[in-house]
Structure 1
């Protein structure tokens, strides 16, 4: 029973369900790179790399944000704050996940291994940035935007230009919905002097910037589709993704209390719908 409780606490700590945001775009890049199925070995290694990298990022965030989270009513009951995980345990988990990610990258190929170190620096940088710069939203976006580049590197051993376009699209998609999600903590961030865009510029500016970011995301998804010479279903994925983002903004603009619905449900489905349409495109091609 202790193991079950520990697992539940750990899952609450890292919020594993949020992996739905990056995993689909890793596999999209791998499918496009391989022009179809890329093999079971790369599938397992890709999942292991993605999960360990995300665990590392979340654990660093939880570790560095303990003081802030303890003051926020929305986050004061997190396992990193209420004593379920000690500072020593958090540091150990951070180290373990970093080593797993580096080791997995080493097995994949040389480029993946050498890129694993700067990737970890980016993944761990988000928590620092929000203490002194409004660019923290884009840093978070970059963290997830690296996923499709990593997927392409795993298959090809190089960074194709179309993966850069897909990465930029993912970066602005994530930064856009992080802006909307940050509206929940606007008053708290302002009181604590944190550098979120909502706390610095207000809700109207935040929503406007989120719309701009999401428009840029759709534009770069279109660039990706064209540069990778994809077909009808890939273009349909761009259209469906745009429609889902429009729906997300309609939800948030009507009622801030539904931000969780927009953040988790709409964005979670977006990645998987995009992945399914890319699979359909490769099968049709």
Structure 2
């Protein structure tokens, strides 16, 4: 008997009745699933570092103001490059995805899309990202091109290191650097603190995400911080989150942020603290909900910076 996912082509770990499955034409659905358009929240985890970097740069030079057009461009670029990264990841991980219950319904292992078709779709998305990138200054363009190295190596890291979450953090938070340089033309300490804080944040939230697959990962030999940390997962996630807050607050203070920013950061601390306090590592659904809450962390941090800029 076919499962609902197999009958409709839907992916097992996507929300039932998501917009892609409900409204997209049939020919587009497999490609949308490759690009994870059926799961928009993780896209925002790639986008928000661009957003809070733009806000931090605006605080560093308040007379310039916040660049809303750059924010729109970075959102379009995030959609394209997150989709390209996921497509590349699925091409590389087909053999693993076929062995894991949560991922075997993805388009390539389920036969909805061939690897060749996926590769062509990957190139198309990368070209969209390139067009967006070329709207910025030379430093930002060079940084954007350099990020492709991280995108290329990330899918292989789960095979060779217990710290693939670190490499995801390096790639996913690159927007903190390009967002800053798009406004300033060069890197500076606040942007670097923002970036390192984002890396630690990603290690924390992706460890939570990896708790869903810990048994399957052990069977197929995939490494992760969730497996490495074991029973200490909650404690170590808490430490990574705490270090994130320290670095982000320091970055804000270095550009002159004051009490409105610090008050706004209480919401960031509250969301991160709730995740740790209520995390049940052995319950996959619990981990997924706490992982998804990190979209609100990025939004809250950006809002805290903008609040200070306004007040």
Partner of 1:232: 259
Measure, in 2, the Cα distance between the counterparts of 1:178 and 1:239.
Answer: 22
Give the counterpart of 2:67 among 18, 38, 45.
38
Structure 1: which 5+ residue stretches go unaligned?
none
For the structure 1 residues 188 and 3, does the alpha-carbon distance in structure 2 shift closer, same or farther, using more than 3 Å as the test?
closer
Aligned to 2:271: 244
Q: In structure 2, what is the equivalent of residue 209 of structure 1?
A: 236
| Alignment pair present for 1:15 and 2:36 | yes
Between the aligned partners of 1:64 and 1:83, the Cα distance in structure 2 is 15
1:4 aligns with 2:25: yes
Indicate the larger mover: 29-38 or 214-223: 29-38
Pairwise CA distance, 1:129: 0.5
Aligned residues: 281
Counterpart contact for 1:145–1:169, Cα < 8 Å: no
Deviation of the 1:174 alpha carbon: 1.1
Distance 2:265 2:170 in 1: 20
Task: Write out per-residue CA displacement over residues 63-84 of structure 1, whole angstroms, 9 at most, x where no aligned residue.
Answer: 1111111111111111232122
C-alpha separation in 2, matches of 1:234 and 1:123: 32
Indicate conservation of the 8 Å contact 1:190/1:200, yes or no. Answer: no
1:33-61 superposed Cα distances (whole Å, 9 cap, x missing partner): 23332143x23322222222212211111
Q: Matched residues in 2 for 1:229 and 1:25: separation? A: 19
Structure 1 outlier segments of 4+, above 6 Å? none
Contact 2:280 2:286 in 1 (8 A): no
Q: Tell me the CA shift for residue 250 of structure 1.
A: 1.9
Partner of 1:258: 286
Q: Which has the higher helix share?
A: 1
Quote the Cα distance in structure 1 between the aligned partners of 2:55 and 2:242.
25
- TM-score scaled to structure 1, two decimals? 0.91
